[in-house]
Structure 1
Amino acid sequence: MSIDHVVDVSRLQFAVTALYHFLFVPLTLGMTWLLVIMEATYVMTGKQVYQDMTRFWGKLFGINFALGVTTGITMEFQFGTNWAYYSHYVGDIFGAPLAIEGLMAFFLESTFIGLFFFGWDRLSRRQHLLVTVLMAVGSNLSALWILIANGWMQNPVGAEFSYHTMRMEMTDFWAVVFNPDAQAKFVHTVSAGYVTGAMFVLSISSWYLLRGRDIEFAGKSFRIAAAFGFASVCSVIVLGDESGYTVGEAQQTKLAAMEAMWHTEPAPAPFNVLAWPNEATMQNDWQLQVPWLMGLIGTRSLSQQIPGIHDIIAVNRARIVSGAQAVTALARLRQQRDDAVALARFNAHKADLGFGLLLKKYTDDVSTATPAMIDAAARDTIPKVAPMFWSFRLMVALGMAMLTLFGLALWASVKGDFARRPRLLKAALYCLPMPWLACEVGWFVAEYGRQPWTIYGVLPTHLSVSTLSVESLYGSLAGFIGFYTVLLCVEMYLMVRFARQGPGSLGTGRYAGDSASLHLAH
């Protein structure tokens, strides 16, 4: 089997595990702050219904959290098993935020989740509210450090290659932490999680209202979810715009692919609302454009140009030629560390070292690379345009649909007549899968758009894999799919079961279907 096949299956395996894991993460992020709002309202008003809301929705949150942790643990092991050279090459940098996440955030989150569930009768109201707040902070800190690590993969600041150790080394920890790409990705991702949590509560509350059960409980849950969801979806849109701007600054290739921008347009560039990208001819067969919009989004100016794919390929080709010189000089330095001529040559071209490594896909000795190989490597720097273009537009369309839904739900909440709007309630129920689909598509755009790099501009994906057999990769892939599917089915079963029971599952005797009430009736 070819190395390309090993790379493809390794990528597929990590993509599958990541996408499965990301089914659980957004709901965890969103539900924690909804629980904080519900419990804070209980502490301020003393109304029992808000405590019941916190405990019931917290039960659904706990199911999701437990299964999310199970799917997430295996991903960190995959860096060592499937991506050994990646772990060696950048492990000192990439591993730092993941270690901090485990020590600071995950332990904090896990500790306070335990206190959240078992501290109701042992802590005062304010103490338990503090526990819930710290649980929410822990979950968001966990997301922060993971996205700092991922943001560095997208925009590798605060590090440089050392020819002494033949690996990347951190030069500025705080540059890694305050990486603009990481910060934009964090706020955009957690806001998407907040939308997911709000939609979850809104949809299930709508189901109760449509059935005419537990009206006060469902109505108050609906109001909180509508307000929180509307604020969150507005944040997603605004912060998504900021994330697009940082992509334009650090990853012009990804931006051009997302917009199917084959040629550099006069500033300010138009925005392709719809188009039909043609990979073979490297142009759009047709397109519907809005003048100026892409230039304003991507550059925040009227005069700065956004490079098109053809120009990006030309620039990358020149960087590959330069990088080949760095790779050749580095090979000489490995043999003789005090070779002054090789060191001077390496320092002159080391900024393009990663681009030179792209040629390793075609030849072991990059000094013998032919023009055809260089052209192929330059073309490789552009991900497939059509998947990027349509995935991004699907994400945006879902965001606009959810903005409309939450806006209508909030307006109906203000007027107080949402319980008498069956069309709105049904729409909220049917829209339940939307935020998950938007999150999955958004993650695809972020990760697929980075190809052919694991570390953008530094380490090509085809050099990052472990020396595994394709058979072992397929076997573990099948195992992961089977195991994760079982976990997903378990979550769906438990979620549906407790959602159908509703707040009656608390056993307080105050709600429909309550086990305590049924026992007394008999």
Structure 2
Amino acid sequence: MIDQTVVELSRLQFALTAMYHFLFVPLTLGLSFMIAIMESVYVMTGKDVWRRMTLFWGVLFGINFAMGVGTGIVMEFQFGMNWSYYSHYVGDIFGAPLAIEGLMAFFLEATFIGLFFFGWNRLSKVQHLTVTWLMALGTNLSALWILIANGWMQYPVGAVFNPETMRMEVVDFAAVLFNPVAQAKFVHTVSAGYVTGAMFVMSISAFYMLRGKHRDLARRSFAVAAAFGLLASISVAVLGDESGYAASEHQKMKLAAIEGMWETQPAPASFTAFAIPDQQAQRNHYEVHIPYVMGLIATRSLDQEIPGILELVERAEQRVKGGQIAYAALQRIRADKNDVEAREVFDRHWQDLGHGLLLKRYRDDIGNATPEEIAQAAVDTVPTVAPLFWTFRAMVGIGFYLIGFFAVAFYFSCRNNFEDKKLFLKIALWSLPLPWIAIECGWFIAEYGRQPWAVDGVLPTFYAASGLALYEILASLIGFVAIYTVLMVIEIKLMLKAIGKGPDQVLPALQASMNVPADAASKS
């Protein structure tokens, strides 16, 4: 048995490094497409201000990309260091999307980023624009493959357990690729990244307009960000609805925990706008409901009930018992590979094996688990409700605020009078952190809501961790936090320095470093 403290510290370390890393990813996603849009306008109009916009926002994109690479590479090493049994158990499936991401997406992205910066005086306008769009495509392909891997952890399809190798193995890669949970996560996540990029551009543009600096660049950037942000924020809401529907189909316990739904809700289920969840009493206090809304979100109907936590625990208890049968059959197969009867039993119950492994937290000989231990293992499938309940509502609240914000910004942009709206420009500046807060909330919901599973229904988190000593995990945790904090400080300082200097100082320095004369760049 692995020390539970080591497991929790391993979870904390991965959570911290992942959330640090994802401070950089959404801005990369959003800025890449906005830069491509700006350069497209430059190629179509020939106006130099759009080239300057492309280069200036490209500098900020490059700083952010470099930090994202540095924090992202380290994360993958943790699978072998802190989660060695996870790597053994599901590495055949999980490793494939990560490898494809490196070969297909990261190399594509990195190559074209180099061409983006150093190809201005070597490529024609159309060729350089093609490079910029391919850079944006590579950025989004990186997100696609990472989210396919993560989506499989949420809803493991296209794989079976092989009793001879004692591992999960791919049998249908197309099912892994087109996993509905992964696809919903991808479109929702990249849309959130687009909102982040739009807010970043709009906030800095508002800062310049409030200071009366770089007005031509700021005004055009603000207009692009307003339109792009409005479309992206609406798509986040629409695609978030798709994620909710996918959760109702494939992650019922997560959905019930997010809603604080203890009892099964008859159709049409209402949405709980406010409540104080009480996990010990298995009920909520001071509930405020909005009729019909949850039924429409989760089932897209008004005639389907939504199972509650208590009913799902009863179902989990039956699966734990099925897992005991699968585990006993597996032991017989390991003793005699020619035991046909044991293989037939295992084939009928192998999908419950993961639930049976939940008993490993209480005893090694899980076949002899007591009814109390089985019941407790079933209860363990319930994540802590209150953090999920409130984090989800914070994320949704920020999402609706951003839709309204970008709608107002777009209206002002269409009327071409946003420079006079000093209060709104200040609101735009101070709203800068909100997309990041909402995105981190979303990842917390996705990962914390999956507990107690490393791979939903397949591999318990405590069973996936490496058998490290406590001092080893503490040392690496402290080291990662220190390094990542330094990287974040460097990122913020570089960003603030570039923003403070503005395009008038940043662009000449950039052109000099690239050996690009100003007149050559403007004619390229």
User: For the superposition of Structure 1 and Structure 2, which TM-score range results when normalised by the shorter chain?
Assistant: over 0.9
Query: Partner letter of residue 377 of structure 1?
Result: A
Shift of 1:122: 1.0
Partner of 2:307: 307
Partner of 2:112: 112
For 2:186, what is the secondary structure of its paired residue? helix
Per-residue CA deviations over 1:228-278 (Å, capped at 9, x if unaligned) read 000000000000000110011100000000111110011111100111100
For 1:168, what is the secondary structure of its paired residue? strand
2:155 equivalent to 1:155 = yes
Partner of 1:261: 261
For 1:284, what is the secondary structure of its paired residue? strand
For 2:505, what is the secondary structure of its paired residue? helix
Q: Matched residues in 1 for 2:335 and 2:431: separation?
A: 61
Shift of 1:181: 0.5
Q: Matched residues in 1 for 2:251 and 2:435: separation?
A: 26
For 2:502, what is the secondary structure of its paired residue? helix
Q: Matched residues in 2 for 1:228 and 1:265: separation?
A: 39
Partner of 1:8: 8
Q: Matched residues in 2 for 1:440 and 1:218: separation?
A: 28
Q: How does 1:332-371 map to 2 (within 5 A)?
A: 332-371=332-371
2:242 equivalent to 1:222 = no
Shift of 1:2: 5.9
Query: Partner letter of residue 49 of structure 2?
Result: V
Partner of 1:450: 450
Partner of 2:197: 197
Are the aligned partners of 2:383 and 2:452 in contact in 1 as well (CA < 8 Å)?
yes
Instruction: Please list every run of 5 or more consecutive structure 2 residues that lacks an aligned counterpart in the other structure.
Output: 510-517, 519-524
Q: Matched residues in 2 for 1:347 and 1:187: separation?
A: 35
Partner of 1:513: none
Q: Matched residues in 1 for 2:68 and 2:266: separation?
A: 47
2:49 equivalent to 1:26 = no
Partner of 1:46: 46
Partner of 2:490: 490
Are the aligned partners of 2:210 and 2:422 in contact in 1 as well (CA < 8 Å)?
yes
Query: Partner letter of residue 104 of structure 1?
Result: M
Q: Matched residues in 2 for 1:14 and 1:41: separation?
A: 41
Per-residue CA deviations over 1:353-400 (Å, capped at 9, x if unaligned) read 111111111110011101111111111101000000000000001111
Shift of 1:341: 2.9
2:362 equivalent to 1:376 = no
Are the aligned partners of 2:151 and 2:185 in contact in 1 as well (CA < 8 Å)?
yes
Runs of 4+ that moved beyond 6 A: none
Q: Matched residues in 1 for 2:112 and 2:341: separation?
A: 58
Using the aligned pairs only, state the percent identity: 59
Partner of 2:424: 424
Q: How many residues align?
A: 510
Partner of 1:519: none
For 1:145, what is the secondary structure of its paired residue? helix
Q: How does 1:275-354 map to 2 (within 5 A)?
A: 275-354=275-354
Q: Matched residues in 2 for 1:265 and 1:286: separation?
A: 17
Query: Partner letter of residue 172 of structure 1?
Result: D
Are the aligned partners of 2:7 and 2:462 in contact in 1 as well (CA < 8 Å)?
yes
Q: Matched residues in 1 for 2:16 and 2:106: separation?
A: 23
For 2:465, what is the secondary structure of its paired residue? coil
Q: Matched residues in 2 for 1:206 and 1:128: separation?
A: 29
For 2:266, what is the secondary structure of its paired residue? coil
For 2:268, what is the secondary structure of its paired residue? coil
Shift of 1:505: 2.2
Per-residue CA deviations over 1:93-136 (Å, capped at 9, x if unaligned) read 11011100000000000000000011111111111100000000
For 1:285, what is the secondary structure of its paired residue? strand
Q: Matched residues in 2 for 1:348 and 1:123: separation?
A: 61
Q: Matched residues in 1 for 2:232 and 2:502: separation?
A: 25
Per-residue CA deviations over 1:457-491 (Å, capped at 9, x if unaligned) read 11111110111111110110000000000000000
Q: Matched residues in 1 for 2:42 and 2:276: separation?
A: 53
Shift of 1:508: 5.0
Instruction: Please list every run of 5 or more consecutive structure 1 residues that lacks an aligned counterpart in the other structure.
Output: 510-515, 517-522
For 1:477, what is the secondary structure of its paired residue? helix
Q: CA RMSD in A?
A: 1.2
Partner of 1:512: none
Q: Matched residues in 2 for 1:217 and 1:341: separation?
A: 74
Query: Partner letter of residue 364 of structure 2?
Result: D
